Chains A and B, each alone.
Chain A
Amino acid sequence: MFKEVILIKNGELALKGLNRRTFEEALIRNLKRTLTPFGKISVHREQSTMYVNSDDIDWNEAADRVSRVFGIATFSRSCLCEKDFEVIKESAAEYLKEQLSECSTFKVEAKRSDKSFPLKSPAICEEAGGYILERFPNLTVDVHNPEITVTVEIRANGAFIHGKPIKGAGGLPFGTSGKATVMISGGIDSPVAAWMMAKRGLQLSAVHFASPPYTSQRAEEKVRTLLEKVSQWAGEIKLYIVPFTDIQERIRDDCPEELFTIIMRRIMIKITQRIARSNQSSAMISGESVGQVASQTLKAIACTNDAANMPILRPLVGMDKEEIIKIARSIDTFDTSILPYEDCCTVFTPKHPKTRPDLHSVREAEAKLNIADLMETAIKESRKEFIGK
């Protein structure tokens, strides 16, 4: 048995100058929060590297969780052993056995920050490399382009050995960019938008509009499942379910059919904005992508944007459907998103929606609706729940 640790190299964070300390502290907090349910851990920093230590955690589980913590460029599972060269070379061969037997070329890299260690770096490489060559006849040395680099770091508190680095989730640590509220329908786009903004360090709340009996309980369940998946990266998400039936019926009955969708979206934005302010969000998040559907033409986006006086973040705005689906698959929301339940966006969809609505007539039609009281009621009667953890 080896004593294991996880070494984290936090790419983008290093660039943050004076803020770096804040970001690193946030990352440490997030790591602790994520990993504590699986074992007793401690995290410490040394230069640009963070060390996750634990005596009782399952390291496979830990590595899986760490790969979903934002703010980490790459990390390595590493073995920690005493600074005795015999032990080091045997540990390297043994700890990296699986990776080494799958590769055909390798090299050894040594970093010696503890200058009292008797062997100098080139000597460590040569000796350890020779030993590994002997143990693994499938390997040859390639110093320029090896399939695997065995890294030996001699530090004050021991010798660390690791193989291939693992790609982290990237982005910025959770919560370091403030709060935002995402509008989530249950389709493919909104969970991806939520995930992308969480990656930029935002803490999320979510708003879902439910229109029973036009929409089913299953549509709500679907939203919970989607947010559950996003929360594996984004931490706990506060979900507001807003009853929307009366408002949709009022719009259907009292506004020109071709403007139905655009006015509905404006009302959704107004309600979301109210909820966003009440939970200290500084922005809203939407899954819009220019030209994707009638309500997402540039003209239509301009009309909906007009209803907001807080920034609306649209991380998918320039992406193709294919690119969005690729992310949806990678965060495992795609298969849930395509379940065929009616959602608020498809209820009463007009046959011929305006693709180039004119802001003036939209405002006019909306004013005639006299919908303020219904909006108040919807906000007051929205249900709040917590998703994730």
Chain B
Amino acid sequence: MREIYLDNSATTKVSDSAAAKAVGMMKECYGNPSSLHTLGILAEREVGAARAAVAGAISASSEEIIFTSGGTEANNLALFGSAEARRRRGSRIVTSAIEHSSVLESAKQLENSGFEVVFLQPDRNGNIAEEQIAAAVDERTVLVSLMLVNNEVGSVLPLSAARAAIKRSNAPALLHCDAVQAFGKMPVSVKSIGCDLLTVTGHKVHAPKGVGALFVKKGVRILPRQFGGEQEKRIRPGTESTPLIAAFGQAVADFPDLDASLDNARKLWQYAKERLLTIDKLTINSPDDALPYILNFSTNSLRSEIMLHHLAAMGIYCSSGSACAKGEPSHVLKAMKLSRTAADTAIRVSFDYATTFEDIDLLVEAVKDGIAKRGKY
């Protein structure tokens, strides 16, 4: 049975070159980058190359990259590190209700510690309007944190509106962008976004799990969350995970032409959408202008979890909106005010460069088969 992996927004398969890089770092270039001897210098050089690769991919410079253990840590560092550093200059934080849990839960913690947090609500398509952002940002705002691409439906948020709103209201606010789902799929530039902080992670771009990075714009001060040695400018001390960092750098250096891939993904996405819509009762939850690597739909016939197991039995892997009948539906679909049935029967497929039209055909047939065999919602 051929494996069709359509869960790339959850995680990706590590590329051969990234895996080989990690093994080389563990078995040959195993020095501590802080050591003064040759092995230390060689390891430091590899970390430097990875830093340059990640920086280059987002139009930043190397000294603006802080390596972390992944997206969750980078988001925590961005929110707590900047809010605590600016506590005396204001008390308002603006974010959205459809952020990743690592932003949402951090924002809720900051709310408990006295910040006023605004959670912007999305429309039916998972979009946040520019006017909403403009209205929420005021002169007391110290942080705006918005994701570039939503992980469940693929909606693209108007980050430039946030930059403009901060300027206009003369707010002492930093702009943080969680770009985990956008990175490696569409061109991401810290300059054109105009952000102060930006989160990326390795395992969504064919690097191993356990490594990510936070871009911190030159001149922006954030407070560390942990203390120890001199590494990562003391903002994220601890011996660098050289195998994971070097593999991350390798995966980023291997990025294909993003614009060309995006064109290809758009065709796949459109095809998938049209084919899926031939299924009775099926509805699409992703907006028309979503990042075309993520497609969310509801069968309105078969509970997500059951469909997921049905597809998995046929070698097709994707994600469900809710974990289980006993579990709550996803906070994103809930915020989009989807009906209970639509939320309970939602499926997310997410592509990568290797996804083919044939994969889509097999997916559509398998979904039809699942509904025919088990669909009695």
Tell me if A340 and B309 are in contact (CB < 8 A).
Answer: no
Q: Is the CB of B306 within 8 A of A340?
A: no
Contact A214 B306 (CB under 8 A): yes
Contact assessment for B324 and A341 in the assembled complex, using a CB-CB cutoff below 8 Å: yes
Assess A342 versus B374: contact at CB under 8 Å? Given A213-B310, A214-B309, A216-B309: no
CB of B326 within 8 A of CB of A216, answer no
Query: Do A342 and B305 contact each other (CB < 8 Å), given the known contacts A213-B374, A252-B376?
Result: yes
In the complex, how many angstroms separate the beta carbon of B329 from the nearest chain A beta carbon?
Answer: 13
Give bound CA distance, A212 to B309, whole Å. 7
B325 touches A216 (CB 8 A): no
In the complex, whether B228 has a CB less than 8 A from a CB of chain A is: no
Check A346 for interface membership: any CB of B closer than 8 A: yes
Q: Are A213 and B306 in contact (CB under 8 A)?
A: yes
Contact with B along A202-239 (1 / 0, CB 8 A): 00000000001111110000000000000000000000
Chain A: which residue is nearest B328 at the CB level?
Answer: A340
Expressed in whole angstroms, the Cα–Cα distance for A77 and B247 within the complex equals: 53
B 46-73 to A, binary, CB cutoff 8 A, 1 in contact else 0: 0000000000000000000000000000
Q: Interface residues of A toward B: which range?
A: 10 to 19
Complex interface: chain B residues within 8 A of A217 (CB): 309
Interface: B327 (CB within 8 A): yes
Contact A340 B310 (CB under 8 A): no
Would you give the shortest CB distance from A15 to chain B, in whole angstroms?
Answer: 46
How many residues belonging to B are interface residues under a CB distance threshold of 8 Å? 16
User: Does B323 belong to the interface (CB within 8 Å)?
Assistant: yes
Chain A interface SS verdict (over half) = loop
Cβ-defined partner of B325 (8 Å) among A249, A252, A342: A342
- Pairwise interchain contact B324-A340, C-beta atoms closer than 8 A: yes
B372 within 8 A of partner (CB)? no
Chain A min CB distance to B346 (Å):
16
Query: When the two chains form their complex, are residues A213 and B325 in contact, meaning their CB atoms are under 8 A apart?
Result: no
Q: State whether B376 touches A340 (Cβ < 8 A).
A: no
* Chain B residues near A215 (CB-CB < 8 A): 309
In the assembled complex, the Cα of A249 lies from the Cα of B313 at a distance in Å of 18
Contact indicator per residue, chain A 94-129, by CB within 8 Å of chain B (1) or not (0): 000000000000000000000000000000000000
CA distance A346 to B327 in the complex (A): 13
Considering the chains assembled together, what is the distance between the CA atoms of A346 and B310 in angstroms? 18
> B313 near A340 (CB under 8 angstroms)?
no
Q: Given the complex, which residues of B lie within 8 Å of A212, measured CB to CB?
A: 309, 313
A216 pairs with B305, CB closer than 8 A: yes
Known: A213-B310, A214-B309. A340 touches B323 (CB 8 A): yes
Q: Is the pair B374, A214 in contact by a Cβ cutoff of 8 Å?
A: yes
Q: Could you tell me the distance between the alpha carbons of A128 and B309 in the complex, rounded to whole angstroms?
A: 69
A340 near B374 (CB under 8 angstroms)?
no
Determine the residue in chain B with the shortest Cβ distance to A348: B376
Contact across chains for A346 and B376 when beta carbons are under 8 A apart = no
User: Mask for B308-319, Cβ within 8 A of A = 1, else 0?
Assistant: 111011000000
Inter-chain contacts of B306 with A (CB < 8 A): 213-214
* Beta-carbon nearest neighbor of A213 in chain B: B309
User: Which residues from 295 to 341 on chain A have a C-beta closer than 8 Å to any C-beta of chain B?
Assistant: 340-341
Shortest Cβ gap from A341 to chain B (Å): 6
In the assembled complex, how far is the CB of residue A209 from the closest CB belonging to chain B, in whole angstroms? Answer: 15
Q: Which residues 276-325 in B have Cβ within 8 Å of A in the complex?
A: 305-310, 312-313, 323-325
* Contact across chains for A340 and B327 when beta carbons are under 8 A apart: yes
CA distance A340 to B323 in the complex (A): 9
Determine the chain A residues whose CB is within 8 A of the CB of B323 once the complex forms: 340
Q: Considering the chains assembled together, what is the distance between the CA atoms of A340 and B327 in angstroms?
A: 7
Contacts of B305 in A (CB 8 A): 216, 342
Residues of A within 8 A of B309 (CB): 212-217
A304 CA to B171 CA, complexed, in Å: 69
* Chain A residues near B326 (CB-CB < 8 A): 340, 342, 346
Contact A342/B324 with A213-B310, A214-B306, A216-B309 known, Cβ cut-off 8 Å = yes
Bound Cα distance from A137 to B265, whole angstroms? 81
Rounded to whole angstroms, the CA-CA distance of A214 and B309 in the bound complex is: 7
| Chain A residues, Cβ within 8 Å of B370 | 213
| B302 to A, closest residue via Cβ | A213
Report the Cα distance A215→B306, complex, angstroms.
7
- List chain A residues, Cβ under 8 A from B376: 252
Min Cβ gap A363→B in Å is 26
Chain B residues with CB below 8 A from A213, complex form: 306-310, 312-313, 370, 374
How far is the CB of A106 from the nearest CB of chain B, in Å?
48
Docked CA distance A252–B306 (Å):
16
Residue from the set B305, B309, B376 with the largest chain A CB neighbour count within 10 Å: B309
What is A's interface to B at a CB cutoff of 8 Å? 212-217, 249, 252, 340-342, 346
User: Given contacts A340-B324, A346-B325, could you give 13 more A-B pairs where the C-beta distance is less than 8 Å?
Assistant: A212-B313, A213-B310, A213-B313, A213-B374, A216-B305, A216-B309, A217-B309, A252-B376, A340-B326, A341-B324, A342-B305, A342-B324, A342-B325
29 chain-A/chain-B pairs, Cβ below 8 angstroms: A212-B309, A212-B313, A213-B306, A213-B307, A213-B308, A213-B309, A213-B312, A213-B313, A213-B370, A213-B374, A214-B306, A214-B309, A214-B374, A215-B309, A216-B305, A216-B309, A217-B309, A249-B374, A252-B376, A340-B324, A340-B326, A340-B327, A341-B324, A342-B305, A342-B324, A342-B325, A342-B326, A346-B325, A346-B326
Interchain residue pairs A-B with the least CB separation, the first 5: A213-B309, A213-B310, A340-B326, A213-B306, A340-B324
